[in-house]
Amino acid sequence: MKTSNKIIQLLKQHGELTAKELAVELGLTTMGVRQHMLSLEESDEICYEDKKAVRGRPTRFWSLTTKSNIHFSDRHEELTVQLIESVKTVFGDDGLDKLINDREDKSLKKYQLTLKNKKSLLDKLTEIAKIRSEEGYMATIEEIDGYYWLFENHCPICAAATKCLNFCRSELNLFRTLLADTATITREEHIIEGARRCAYKVTAI
């Protein structure tokens, strides 16, 4: 295991530690450990807090950031699929549809509140892309040959959408409702169907 990974494992197991404590655990010099920690800090996987010492200079304690979670097992996708299966078993397809519709309604209210002062189509699309990126979709807006395109380069609900395509249907409905008075929108590329991204073509009315 690489030294940087060992540092992350130790911070996960023990909580905040000093460079000296990490050096002892790893059998390295403090200077050697600090070189690895500088790299981890630059990648935003660890951070530090200086705490007052009884004597002398403050002591620097290092801890993990949320970005470090990529190094640890995450079974949320498996759990999501299991929950979808459970909803279908207990409540049937109608029950799952109600759950998805409720999610869509809540998202619509959230988006409408944010878009209420946006007048132009571009302003609306830019705000939608901003919200989608905050939700993990890595969304961008481009204008190509007179059309606007909403590109989503990542799908944070891919496991759920793969299990139940109604999630994708719901999201397309959301966009169409938000832009009903200014544009029509169609999905031209779809991650679930093997595309690199989801691409939505927006045609101004």
Q: Read off the pLDDT of residues 70-126 as tens digits, 9 standing for 90 and up.
A: 787 666 777 788 989 999 899 999 999 999 999 999 999 999 999 999 999 999 999
Q: For residue 57, give both structure tokens.
A: 């200079």
Query: How many Å is the Cα radius of gyration of the chain?
Result: 23
pTM above 0.95, yes or no: no
Return the exposure string of 55-65: e unless at least 16 CB atoms fall within 10 Å of the residue's CB, then b: eeeeeebbebe
> From CA 205, how far away is CA 198, in angstroms rounded?
22
Domains of the chain in sequence order: 3-71 (1.10.10.10), 76-204 (3.90.1520.10)
Residue type (1 letter), 176? R
